[in-house]
Structures are given as C-alpha cells and as structure tokens.
Chain A
C-alpha cells in the first residue's frame, strides 16, 4: 500500500509526448543521415583485399552482419509485444510502447534481405553455387531445402509474417490511443490478445527458419537444431536492453518520469539477467554435445572459431555474454538503478552485435582460407585462419542498418504517445510494485 495511487488521468502531457522541439523528435533525421553515410562507406569504402572475389565476399558478409543486428532488434520488439499480450502482463504496459516502435522497424529493416536473395547472395552463400554443390554429396543431400527458389519463397513468407504481425499490432495500439470510449479501447486490447498466440507460433517458426537460412546456411555442412533458440536468446536480451537504454534517456530528457519507475527497471533487469543465463544454457548445450560427440562434420564449425584471433573473439563472447553480465546483474539494487543498468544494457546490445559477428564472419574467413589453400597461397590462408579482418564494409553496414532502424523508430516515436494511454491495464502498470 503506497502513499498515493497514481491515476492515468493525472499523467501530464509533457510526460507522455515527445516535445517536437527536442532531439527525440529528430531521431529519424539522424537515422537517415547515418543510413546514407553508412551505405556510402559500406559500398564505396576501401577493402584490404586484392581479388574481386574476396572484396565482394567480405563486403556482403559485412552487409549480412549489419542487417542481422538491426533485424534482431526489430524481432525482439515483436516478440516482446506478443508475449506481453499473450500473458496479459500488467507490469509492462508502461514500457510496451517503446517495444512497439522497435517492432515497427521490422517491415522496413527486413527489406534489407532482398539483395541477398539476388545476385550478391552468391558471394556469401556457398550453396548458391550450383556447379560447386553438385560435387559435394553433403550439400547435394540438402538441395530440397537449400536452393535458390525455396529460399526466395521462404523469405517472402518471413516478410509477410513479420510485416503483417508488426503492422497489425502497431495499428491497433495506435487506434487504441484515439479510442472514444473505454469499451472501444478494450476492444483493441482483445484484438491484440487474440492475435498474440497465433503470432507467437508464426514468430517462432519464421525466426528459427530465418536464422537457418541467413546465418546457419553460411556453413551448409554444419547444422544445429538449437540454432534458432540460440538466436532467440540474443534477440530477447537485445530488446530488454534496448528498452532500458531508450527509457533511461527519455527520462534524462524529462519524460516518463513518474510513469516508468525503479520497479519497471527492476523487471527489465531481471529479464536481462534471466536471458543471460538462458543464452549461456543454450550456447553451452550446443557446444557441449558437439564437443562430446566429436564428429568432424560438426566440430569443424567450432574449430575455425578456435584459432588465433578468432579464439580471442570466442572468449570475448563467453565472458562478455555470460560472465560479466551474470555477476554485474546479480544484485537487486543494481537492477533498480537505471543509471547503472543502462551501462549493462549498452554492453548487452554491443555483445549482441559481437555475437552476430562471431556467427557470420568466421565462415567468410574459413572459405577465403580454403580458396587460398587451393591456390597454393599458404601464407594468405594462414592470415585468414588466424586474423580477424574488420573492414570499412563491416563498420559502414553496421552504421547503415542502425540508421535504417533509427529512422523508422524515430518516426514512430514522434508520431505516437510514449505510453498506450487508453490501455485498460495502464493504471496497474503505473502502480506496479515488486514484492
């Protein structure tokens, strides 16, 4: 029983709307700038390689890297919104709108996958080289799934699911804000709750197979049935961290002050901690079984991540994704203080990018090393095996896709209120308290 109970009607307008003069209303412009700059650097930046093959392969690997990072933030927004509706969560209503903005980027960011379906895909996906595949019995056996036509069809399906769900939830939430009566507002809440279970199943399948198609197929000899769950763990970490970052800085800008409290940050922090452990559990289980069984077709995926600088990167993933956040998110007080939590949130988002780098970049180096070996250039092969090449393309496409994300996110942010003002459960969320 607290001293006073907060009422939705008492919320001041400047707390729940973005001031048109503030930097928050211009985030979308910053996004456009970053996107233009990033794509320019990505496509036109210098490359350390001489052969056109290597230049193109590295460029499109960087593209895939940036694309997957921005996509994971959008997917995180979608699954967060779906789950909150599915379980009728009260606590999250005050923070859900920010996740809805992230979710709304999905239909736009996902379009970034189109070039990879067309010509440039050949530079990163080995299985797209038909003449190569026909001599490889292992890839040949997977042709029914791994072929250009069905890849395009599946991508069309992912795009439809992601866009359909995002736009539906976003629209209903938006219309709910303008509802004329509480009955009408409740109607939109029911609609979203009805779509949630269907959406969750569609999301789980599309994200899992999307991860198979865009990342696991980079090394078509290897497979892991846990791969989709592994990606999901990263996606879930990223969205909870993103909410902490955005809301912390909105509060620094004077908004949401009495709306989002230490209680909400505490819950977000608990989810960051929980999914850190979940990621470790999934990542270790995947590694452990492969290590124990010791079958060459499975172990080679880890082998080329265990050489030279790649091994250091693997250690960074272990320490940065498990050891550091695990110990630094343990204490209750640290989760309740957003000044502290925001640093952990930044770190986890950074590690999401590093994790995707760790998944996407080593196959490029592995293939480049094999090609160099075939051509007799042993020194070059050794270079690819042992050193991580970070090029202008990697940086450029990272900036570019963050820019695309911010453009849509910023547009959505300034066009709506900061909380779903007519949601029937908003008042419970405002007064939410942890035991």
Chain B
C-alpha cells in the first residue's frame, strides 16, 4: 500500500439509510475480515453485535474481580479496625464476628464492583476522548437522527483505500468518503 501524501487519514465512512441495509453491510465487512471498525446507529438494532462479529466483552470479569476484591477489603478493614487498632467490646459481642460485618462487606463489594463497571467501561471504550475525527464530517451528526454509518479505520491491517472503498460501495452505501485524522 502506497503512502498518500497530505494529512493523516482516519479511514472511510459509509452512510446507509435503513437499519436493514447497515445490518447486511456489517455482515459483509465482518466476513471480509476487518477488525478496526465500528457501526453507528441512532437506536439499538437487534443482533447488530452478531452481524458485526463482536466478541463478548471482558468487562464482566473486571467487575467480578473488583467486586471480590472489594468484599475482601471491606471484611479486612473491619477486622483490622475492630480487633487491632480499636479493640472495643460492644454489647457483649466478640471483637470480630462474621455476622456483624456482612453489611459493610457487601456494601464495599458493591462499591468496588460499580467502580469496576464504570471505569472499566470507560477504559475499554478509551473514554473520555475530547475529540473524534468523525465529528469533522457534517453528515455524521445524522447518526443521532435518521442515518446509519460504518467507519473502517486506516490502521486496520486489511485497509486499502481503493479496495475498502469498493467493498463499502458494494454493500449498498448511499455515500462513502474518506475522513482525515
């Protein structure tokens, strides 16, 4: 692939006018073997993730690990404070008992799991991002209204300006254009 001169390219943006069209287009892009690409729709299109061939997210594992860590930390915190640093007998109960510590253990577990979910999601999506090249394209604002888009990034190993453009045009795109970085 010959390097083109001028500004760095982000990739190709294809526009579709129905959910059915983008669904079939996604299947074709998936089958062509592209990896660094995404689709944009104004509303959730059922099973589009399958059409795009997206693998299950690792986020649940992050949440699970965070939740378990949180529960362990919550229990440890209570054990440490109530038996090592402030050993005070309250209501004749033992200094440390599993029962009394369940609510806080549970709460800290939930707190950490929620942190894992929110920050894990942001991290996996590479957010917050202050700018995205696609926002330069005026037509792209219709992705929140009535148009459907597929963007294939230039860093995809299979990306080739002519071939990729042809592929997108063959999928029935209304318009295909190159986007600058």
Contact = CB atoms under 8 A, between A and B. Distances in A.
Interface of A: 1-2, 284, 287-288, 291-292, 294, 330-333, 433, 435
Interface stretch (B9-17, B40-48, B125-133, B134-142): B40-48
Contacts of B92: 294
B56 A435 contact: no
B102 interface: yes
B142 to A, nearest CB: 20
Interface string B19-61: 1100100000000000000000000111110000000100010
B117 to A, nearest CB: 14
Given A1-B45, A2-B46, A332 B60 contact: yes
Contacts of A287: 99
B50 to A, nearest CB: 9
Given A1-B19, A294-B91, A433 B100 contact: no
Given A1-B47, A2-B46, A433-B47, A291 B99 contact: yes
Contacts of B60: 331-332
Given A294-B91, A331-B60, A1 B102 contact: no
Nearest to B23: A1
Given A1-B20, A331-B60, A332-B60, A435 B44 contact: yes
A81 to B, nearest CB: 28
Contacts of B23: 1
Contacts of A292: 91, 99-100
B79 interface: no
B96 interface: no
A335 to B, nearest CB: 12
B104 to A, nearest CB: 12
Contacts of A433: 46-47
Chain B facing A: main interface SS: helix
Contacts of A294: 91-92
Contacts of A332: 56, 60
B44 A288 contact: no
A294 B45 CA distance: 56
B102 A288 contact: yes
Contacts of A435: 44
A1 B16 CA distance: 16
B95 to A, nearest CB: 15
Given A330-B64, A331-B60, A332-B60, A1 B100 contact: no
15 contacts: A1-B19, A1-B20, A1-B45, A1-B46, A1-B48, A2-B47, A284-B102, A287-B99, A288-B102, A288-B103, A292-B91, A292-B99, A292-B100, A294-B91, A331-B60
A1 B18 CA distance: 12
A86 B11 CA distance: 51
Contacts of B91: 292, 294
Contacts of B103: 288
Contacts of A288: 99, 102-103
A124 B100 CA distance: 34
Interface in B52-106: 56, 60, 64, 91-92, 99-100, 102-103
B105 to A, nearest CB: 11
Nearest to B49: A435
A294 B90 CA distance: 13
A301 to B, nearest CB: 15
Contacts of B45: 1
A287 B91 CA distance: 17
A78 B48 CA distance: 37
> Considering the complex of A and B, which 9 residue pairs feature the smallest CB-CB distances, nearest first?
A1-B46, A291-B99, A433-B46, A2-B47, A1-B23, A1-B45, A1-B19, A288-B99, A1-B47
Contacts of B46: 1-2, 433
A284 B46 CA distance: 40
A281 to B, nearest CB: 9
Nearest to A287: B99
Contacts of A330: 64
Q: Which of B45, B48, B102 has the most CB of A within 10 A?
A: B102
A416 to B, nearest CB: 31
B109 to A, nearest CB: 12
Contacts of B47: 1-2, 433
A26 B151 CA distance: 59
Given A1-B47, A2-B47, A288-B103, 8 more contacts: A1-B48, A284-B102, A287-B99, A294-B91, A332-B56, A332-B60, A333-B56, A433-B47
